[in-house]
Chains A and B, each alone.
Chain A
Amino acid sequence: MELFTNQVLAGIATGAIYACMALAVVMIYQAIDHLNFAQGEMAMFSTFVAWQLMQWGTPYWVAFVLVLIFSFIGGVVIERALFKPLAKAPVLTHVAGFIALFAIVNSVAGLTWDFTIKQFPSPFGSAPFLGSQLISTHQAGMIGVTLVLLILLFLFFRYTRVGLAMRAAAVMPESARLVGINTSWMIALGWGMAAAIGSIAGMLIAPVVFLEPNMMGGVLIYGFAAAVVGGLSSPLGAVTGGFLVGIFENLVGTYIPGVGNELKLPIALALIITVLVVKPHGLFGRTIVKRV
């Protein structure tokens, strides 16, 4: 039983990361209707910037805030420079654009900071949480940050004018434009927010997986998976999906013999396909009804 609790708690902790990533994925998906395949790389890049700032002697929280601002601006710039010109291009061309962005960011980070593994500090420390052996302070911190983030986002979308405008622009761009919402900038704003949320995910997971240019590969896959399981149209679903995937992945790795690390990913993905086949729009997703 202790093993079980242990694994579930560890699963919740990694799940918090997937939840963060999924939240970033859903943010962009809401704004532009695409999955951003370069989300993980963007987060990785932001994390490297944070690391660099700290190498230069910036205190953690100052670096944290600076990186949030940097990522936000970076996201907006990427949208303006790369994806606004592509707005009229076919959907699949967009996806190719994401892949190009992925290649560029990964390569530039590799050249700037090379591929050696680096330590990344945790703001919470790694001591056991409240004297319990089950979960470390960092893991607890990850869960806490994710939940705070979720609440902030909820408040933003629910109670602010900009949040409302963003939702309107995402759901009905034509009508939103008619009532005077600048939909084009709402998309850029969505990109900025997604990049910022992604950078939080990157900085939270870096102490666990260590810092290197390919660190987000697996995380992003789980993030996608979480977003899809929860439903791409629902931030709450994305977070729930993240925790579910984290827990499931840990339990499968522990209890099914012969799975180990190698097969953990395929099995997690198999779960996702199963969920999708039963509920094609995810657990919390809304059903889209289409007319001819």
Chain B
Amino acid sequence: MSTVQEVSSAPMVAAVPKKAMSLGPAASLLLLGLLVVTPFFVKNFIIFQMTMVLIYAIAVLALNILTGASGQFSLGQSAFYALGAYTSAILIEHAGMNYALTLPFAGLVCFIAGFLFGLPALRLSGIYLALATFALAVAMPQLLKLGVFEHWTGGVQGLVVTKPDAPEIFASMGLKVSQDMWLYFFTLVVTIVIYMLSVNLLKSRSGRAMMSIRDNEIAASAMGVDVALYKTLAFGVSAGITGIAGGLGAIAVQFVAPDGYTIQLAIALFLGMVVGGVGWLPGSLAGALFIVFVPNIAEHVSKGLSGAVFGVILIFIIFLLPNGARQLAFGVQSVFSKMRRG
């Protein structure tokens, strides 16, 4: 018996059919241009919401690396998001650290936590892993409320984080940059860096190793891929990136409290990944747009039935695009290439 590998039936994630997991250069530049230009034309509140979109996009991207690339399904991302947020908040408020410097720490703490969680999770796959991570997400808010940590975490009340000002250099140059605007561009830079690193990670040897595990764990191990190492590594990297998103989230919202990081956040991130397209990194942005704006739209349509409206919109999207925004993008791309061939 011990010689036979035990794994659950089908892989959770189908391979992305030959197309790349990232956008082409032209599309990337166009998107980047849009992201840079938009804040100059909208109100401060919208800028804040766009900042949140970017932050969630980072978190969805992290989940995408875990699920889309290494094929492990997690419902516990909110736990790592919370851990990152608290790390940043505590370092800013208790240690007086610069907000930007706290992000690497948030990432590191979450990387370690994710790696350690990934070790026992190695034995689990598919729905069993989903349940284990789900447990983590459910437990996290309760753990944050524990009296033992109250001195640091502020217990149920949480912590207030001071919002950073734009650096002096802009003022000395005669530019007036609002806090929201500065935070947006700061987040944008972090997002771009993380996106580029992730794309390169997935293109690298390690990325290919992860994808081989996703497609067929046994075949991968037969070919000499260290399955255990890469699975836990994927968990760690994903948790680390989620932690950075959490840290940014704490800075942007200026507040951390246990009830902000419930299982609902984990579900939202999961929906973002599905709507964006599993395993397609640029889809993370589309997914983040979905989880930030669609609940607002649903609330707008009907206050009492906002949940139902949200559910109906979600069903429409998955009926029309079962593979998420990825499907749309590839559809557009094939239309373009047909036109070119003409």
Contacts and interface: CB of A to CB of B under 8 A. Distances in A.
Interface stretch (B19-27, B125-133, B167-175): B125-133
B128 to A, nearest CB: 5
A221 B267 CA distance: 14
B311 A92 contact: no
A91 B13 contact: yes
A280 interface: yes
B142 A108 contact: no
Given A90-B14, A277-B120, A95 B274 contact: yes
A107 B306 contact: yes
Contact of B307 (A103, A263, A265, A276): A103
Nearest to A272: B135
Contact of B318 (A96, A262, A276): A96
A104 B307 contact: yes
Interface string B300-332: 000011111111101100110011100000000
A111 B9 contact: no
A289 B6 contact: yes
B32 interface: no
B222 A292 contact: yes
B128 A97 contact: no
Contacts of A273: 120, 132, 135
A269 B308 contact: no
Given A86-B319, A221-B138, A288-B9, A280 B312 contact: no
Contact of B267 (A91, A99, A280): A99
B139 A86 contact: no
A269 B133 CA distance: 10
Interface in A88-131: 88-93, 95-97, 99-104, 106-108, 110-111
A111 B271 contact: no
A35 B273 CA distance: 19
Contacts of A100: 310-312, 314-315, 318
A86 B142 contact: no
Contact of B305 (A90, A107, A269, A280): A107
Contacts of A85: 319
A167 interface: no
- From A29, A104, A265, A281, residue with most partner B Cβ within 10 Å: A104
Interface residues of A, number: 50
Contact of B314 (A99, A265, A280): A99
Nearest to B218: A292
B318 A93 contact: yes
Contacts of A108: 305, 308
A290 interface: yes
A174 interface: no
A92 B5 contact: no
Given A273-B132, A277-B123, A96 B314 contact: yes
B57 to A, nearest CB: 18
B274 A266 contact: no
Given A86-B319, A277-B120, A287 B311 contact: no
A276 B311 contact: no
A269 B312 contact: no
Contacts of B130: 35
A290 B128 contact: no
B219 A265 contact: no
7 contacts: A86-B322, A99-B271, A99-B311, A100-B311, A110-B307, A273-B120, A276-B124
Question: Closest 5 A-B residue pairs measured CB to CB?
Answer: A107-B307, A269-B135, A89-B322, A266-B139, A104-B311
Interface of B: 4-10, 12-14, 67, 73, 120, 123-125, 127-128, 130-132, 134-135, 138-139, 142-143, 145, 216, 218-219, 222, 267, 270-271, 273-275, 278, 304-312, 314-315, 318-319, 322-324
Interface of A: 29, 33-35, 82, 85-86, 88-93, 95-97, 99-104, 106-108, 110-111, 221, 224-225, 228, 232, 262-263, 265-266, 269-270, 272-273, 276-277, 280-281, 287-292
Given A91-B13, A92-B270, A111-B305, 18 more contacts: A82-B315, A89-B323, A90-B322, A90-B323, A95-B274, A96-B271, A101-B311, A103-B308, A103-B310, A107-B307, A107-B308, A221-B138, A228-B128, A269-B139, A276-B123, A276-B132, A277-B120, A290-B8
